[in-house]
């Protein structure tokens, strides 16, 4: 990267300076006049019937203004106290039952946090314990306690389609798909491999916990939210409180990380209801421990049955995914389907059978998390690919290349053909590792994995761009800045499209009252969808300026194309003029602006955006590990990641996204998991839940961003930031298996788990 590009990339991220100096404002930093502070009383039992709640003593304490309980919800103006994204299964606050340890029972609004915290202990709750289930297997057993009597599925709300719950059970999603003739293919197979892999519950671990400020009035609701999807918050709250969408305003300040844990809707309805009860603005800022009780990645057991012919070509594959969705469905139905699809891998498999089941359990609700279902599905498939390669005596890279689809081939018949050269990316990653560490001599603890995922992207988004008379530019969009640099991308796109200096372009804080509708921030969509919407809005402005130029100077449609924007002006056949002068000649005064609207829909580009996925997000990862055989501790020594991102808009930010995803994948691989005993989360603190530290990051880490220029976004960009999380865990497990002969099928690869596997292998090999 040259110095000018580096400077431009850095200038695009105006939030860098704000954040390092502490000037950046997050929702937790805001103070609203008259604001109260809220605290939440949570269930300490995994499942129970609420017999009574006595709030009288707490309500009488100094500083306490209001207390919300389930008894208040019957008066909610919207008519129903339940909400959801896939199924309408979640009460604003517990009404008659609690379904997991952490389920909100009561919420206190007080003049300060200390008073609210003190009052929690004064609330008396009598709960009758009920049988509970912690694992998906327990939840599906005959006679298991049923968590939800009614499962009302919502169609085409947050994701396209509808969940398919099974009445009278804990199954809230039951998905099945088949193509080709898998049974016949299994019958004629040369070899069949069957394996089951487990993936744990994992915490998002954003630096900023969940926080919302709500101001609910008789006919309006205003929220300052850390959520990633302000329009989803707007809609859910509109329904709950019977307030018109136009009267629900959601501000989105800087968000201190989300990774899907702040996607869709989380604590906003509860905080809004507390404000409604208190008749004043209320701020609720959770602790990290409380955020751990708010949402987590869905855990999964994935069973694979894969058939190969005598030449090692894949003939058929059967995937069964069983996901633990926790107490409420959230986006779990979509996550389950994606896990099954992403377990296919980027391979040519003519006969497929997919099954995905998601179930309720008395645990923290599962939710979207960076590449929904991807880490679970890829962990299983890429581990089995190495198992098969070893059994067939094949090099793992060559085995994959022999079975991998080419660019333009389909992975699943009803999805868009693969739009990247993943084979080329894998070869580049392998060459880079050789250059970094030397050739694989068979003695190195080296492993690899690849992934191809279909982002759950909704091609719906808009942007407004305003070009002022002095050449300054303002971009308005509802894509949330969660640290990924989306406002910087908006500025870069507008600066380029309007040919104005970057310093003259600003991007507004998302605000549903001013910025147009956007589906949400997630699924690697911000650069592609919002960036493209900004580009289209700028094209609208260019057309307006050209039309004004021919109105002033004469000409026709052909002549209009000779006029171009320049810094704070236009230049064409008659010369160069400032925008002020152009406006003066057109309307008599030298003031005004050009307003452009860009809109992305499934009809964009002749309907091409209606084909799913809008783009494939792919990744290839190769690692070298070091193993301490005495302790079982694994160290990631080197890691190379490669992905075709179409076009890099901001290289520094893009590399940071890729590297951050890989380190997050390292945590999934080696240490992260929720641990439950007797229905209780026993490691739900920062002391007990371990994520990778800087010391545990790879000694050498290389990110290859391949630019083919053929993505659907601005300049040919495609989404990125999720792909690099996917290959890490299977690559490490594959390295462990190749170098030490132990195959572990359950994450995380903790020192104890690895050490025990080593001991078992030693005993098995004794004469």
Q: Are residues 287 and 302 in the same domain?
A: no
Residue 175 in any domain: the answer is no
Give residue 125's pLDDT: 98
Q: Which among 610, 634, 649 is the end of a domain? A: 610
Q: State the pLDDT at residue 6.
A: 59
Which structure tokens are listed for 767? 């004469």
Determine contact, residues 49/295, Cβ cutoff 8 Å. no
With bands split at pLDDT 50, 70 and 90, how would you rate the model's confidence at 621? very high
**Strand order across the beta sheet in which 564-566 lies:** 564-566, 569-572, 575-578
Percent of the chain's residues with pLDDT above 70:
99
What pLDDT is stored for residue 55 in this prediction?
98
In this prediction, residue 2 has a pLDDT band, given cuts at 50, 70 and 90, of: low
Closest CA to 410 of 349, 457, 458: 349
Q: Do 304 and 248 belong together in one domain?
A: no
Answer yes or no: is pLDDT of 572 > 80.
yes
User: Of 259, 292, 325, which residue sits at a domain end?
Assistant: 292
Q: Are residues 488 and 622 both part of a single domain?
A: no
Ramachandran quadrant class, 635 (left: phi over 0; alpha: psi -120 to 50; beta: rest): beta
> β-pairing, 446-453 with 617-628?
antiparallel
Side-chain half-sphere of 282: how many Cα atoms within 13 Å?
32
CATH label of the domain that carries residue 619: 3.30.365.10
Q: 264, 367 in Cβ contact below 8 A?
A: yes
Is residue 286 a part of any domain in this protein? yes
CATH number of the domain within which 102 lies: 3.90.1170.50
- Residue 4: pLDDT band by 50, 70, 90 thresholds? low
Given a cut of 60, whether residue 1 has pLDDT beyond it is no
Q: What are the φ and ψ backbone dihedral angles of 312, each rounded to 5 degrees?
A: 85, 15
Say whether pLDDT at 647 is over 60: yes
Return the exposure string of 163-175: e unless at least 16 CB atoms fall within 10 Å of the residue's CB, then b: bebeeebbbbbbb
pLDDT of residue 442: 76
Instruction: Please tell me the predicted confidence (pLDDT) of residue 513.
Output: 97
Same domain, 235 and 361: no
- Name residues whose C-beta falls within 8 Å of residue 345's C-beta, 6 or more positions apart in sequence: 378, 381, 382, 385, 411, 450, 451, 452
* Rounded Cα gap, residues 109 and 93, in angstroms: 14
Angle at 481 between CA 478 and CA 487, to 5 degrees: 80
pLDDT tens-digit series, residues 437-466? 998 877 789 999 999 999 988 999 999 999
Of the residues 260, 292, 324, the one at which a domain ends: 292
Mean pLDDT of the chain: 96
One domain for residues 420 and 312: yes
Residues 589 and 624 in one domain: no
Is the same domain home to 224 and 85?
yes
Mean pLDDT over 341-360 rounds to: 98
The Cα 489–Cα 651 span in angstroms is 11
CA distance 398 to 384: 15
Report residue 607's pLDDT band, with 50, 70 and 90 as the boundaries.
very high
Based on the fold, state whether residues 543 and 686 are members of the same structural domain. Answer: no
Residue 159 lies in a domain: no
User: 604 and 474 share a domain?
Assistant: yes
Q: Is residue 167 part of a domain?
A: no
Number of structural domains found in the chain: 3
Closest CA to 213 of 78, 81, 29, 72: 29
Mean pLDDT for the stretch of residues 104-108: 98
Residue 347 falls within a domain, yes or no? yes
Per the domain annotation, does 400 fall within a domain? Answer: yes
The answer on 375 and 472 residing in a single domain is no
Q: Are residues 369 and 337 in the same domain?
A: yes
As a whole number, mean pLDDT of residues 707-712 equals 97
Residues 447 and 328 in one domain: yes
Average pLDDT (489-509) is: 97
Domain that holds residue 564: 461-610
- Asked, for residue 301, whether it belongs to a domain, the answer is yes
Distance CA 150, CA 169 (A): 10
Task: Please give the Cα distance from 88 to 686 (Å, whole number).
Answer: 32
Between strands 296-297 and 366-367, the pairing is parallel
Whether residue 147 is contained in a domain is answered as no
- What's the pLDDT score for residue 7? 65
Q: What SS3 string covers 69-115?
A: EHHHHHHCCCCCCEECCCECCEECCCCCEECCCCCEEEEEEECCHHH
Measured between alpha carbons, how far apart are the two ends of the chain, in Å? Answer: 58
Asked whether the beta carbons of 323 and 136 are under 8 A apart, the reply is yes
Convert the pLDDT of each residue in 204-263 to its tens digit. Answer: 999 999 999 999 999 999 999 999 999 999 999 999 999 999 999 999 999 999 999 999
Q: How far apart are CA 221 and CA 224, in angstroms?
A: 10
Both tokens of residue 329?
């469905």
């Amino acid at each position: 990267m040259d110095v000018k590009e580096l400077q431009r990339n850095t200038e695009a991220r105006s939030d860098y300076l704000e954040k390092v100096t502490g000037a950046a404002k997050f929702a937790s930093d805001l103070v609203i006049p008259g604001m109260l502070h809220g605290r939440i009383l949570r269930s300490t039992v995994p499942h129970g019937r609420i017999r009574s709640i006595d709030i009288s003593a707490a309500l009488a304490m100094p500083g306490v203004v209001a207390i919300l309980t389930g008894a208040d919800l019957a008066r909610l103006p919207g008519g129903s106290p339940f909400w959801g994204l896939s199924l309408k299964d979640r009460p604003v606050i517990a009404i008659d039952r609690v379904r997991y340890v952490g389920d909100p029972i009561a919420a206190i609004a007080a003049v300060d946090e200390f008073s609210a915290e003190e009052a929690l202990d004064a609330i008396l709750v009598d709960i009758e314990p009920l049988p509970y289930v912690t694992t998906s297997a327990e939840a599906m057993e005959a006679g298991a306690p049923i968590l939800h009597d009614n499962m009302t599925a919502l169609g085409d709300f947050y994701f396209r389609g509808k969940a398919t719950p099974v009445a009278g059970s804990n199954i809230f999603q039951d998905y099945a798909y088949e193509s080709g003739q898998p049974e016949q293919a299994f019958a004629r197979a040369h070899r069949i491999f069957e394996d089951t892999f487990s993936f744990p519950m994992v915490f998002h671990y954003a630096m900023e916990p969940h926080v919302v400020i709500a101001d609910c009035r008789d006919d309006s609701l205003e929220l300052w939210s850390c959520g990633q999807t302000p329009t989803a918050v707007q809609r859910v709250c509109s329904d709950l409180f019977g307030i018109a969408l136009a009267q629900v305003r959601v501000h989105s300040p800087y968000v201190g990380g989300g990774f899907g844990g702040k996607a869709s809707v989380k604590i906003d309805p509860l905080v809004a209801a507390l404000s409604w009860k208190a008749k004043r603005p209320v701020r609720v800022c959770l602790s990290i421990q409380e955020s751990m009780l708010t949402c987590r990645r869905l855990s999964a057991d994935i069973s694979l049955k894969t058939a190969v012919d005598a030449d090692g070509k894949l003939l058929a594959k059967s995937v069964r995914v069983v996901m633990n969705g926790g107490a409420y469905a959230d986006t779990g139905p979509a996550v389950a389907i994606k896990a099954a699809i992403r377990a296919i891998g980027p391979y040519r498999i003519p006969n497929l059978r997919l099954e995905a089941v998601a179930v309720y359990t008395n645990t923290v609700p599962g939710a979207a998390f960076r590449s929904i279902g991807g880490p679970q599905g890829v962990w299983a498939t890429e581990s089995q690919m190495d198992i098969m390669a070893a059994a067939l005596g094949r090099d793992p890279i060559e085995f994959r290349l022999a079975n991998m689809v080419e660019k333009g081939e389909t992975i699943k018949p009803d999805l868009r053909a693969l739009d990247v050269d993943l084979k080329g990316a894998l070869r580049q990653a392998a060459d880079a590792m050789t250059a970094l560490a030397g050739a694989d001599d068979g003695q190195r603890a080296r492993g690899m994995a690849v992934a191809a995922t279909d982002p759950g992207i909704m091609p719906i988004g808009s942007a407004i761009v305003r070009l002022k008379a002095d050449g300054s530019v303002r971009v308005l969009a509802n894509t949330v800045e969660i640290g990924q640099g989306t406002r910087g991308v908006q500025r870069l796109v507008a600066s380029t499209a309007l040919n104005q200096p970057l310093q003259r372009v600003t991007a507004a804080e998302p605000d549903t009252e001013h910025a147009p509708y956007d589906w949400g921030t997630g699924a690697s969509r911000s650069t592609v969808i919002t960036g493209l919407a900004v580009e289209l809005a700028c094209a609208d402005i260019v057309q307006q300026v050209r039309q004004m130029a021919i109105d002033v100077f004469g000409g026709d449609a052909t002549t209009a194309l000779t006029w171009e924007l320049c810094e704070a002006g236009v230049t064409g056949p008659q010369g160069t003029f400032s925008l002020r002068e152009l406006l003066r000649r057109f309307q008599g005064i030298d003031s005004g602006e050009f307003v452009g609207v860009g809109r992305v829909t499934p009809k964009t580009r002749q309907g091409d955006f209606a084909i799913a996925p809008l783009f494939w997000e792919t990744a290839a990862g190769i690692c070298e590990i070091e193993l301490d055989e005495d302790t079982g501790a694994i160290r990631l020594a080197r890691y190379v990641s490669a992905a075709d991102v179409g076009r890099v808009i901001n290289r520094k930010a893009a590399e940071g996204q890729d590297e951050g995803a890989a380190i997050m994948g390292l945590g999934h691989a080696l240490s992260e998991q929720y641990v439950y005993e007797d229905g209780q989360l026993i490691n739900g603190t920062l002391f007990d839940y371990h994520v990778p530290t800087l010391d545990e990051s790879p000694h050498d880490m290389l990110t290859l961003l391949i630019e083919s220029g053929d993505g659907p976004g601005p300049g040919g960009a495609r989404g990125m930031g999720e792909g690099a999380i996917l290959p890490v865990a299977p690559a490490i497990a594959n390295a462990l298996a190749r170098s030490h002969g132990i195959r572990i099928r359950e994450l995380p690869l903790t020192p104890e788990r690895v050490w025990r596997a080593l001991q078992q292998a030693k005993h098995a090999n004794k004469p």
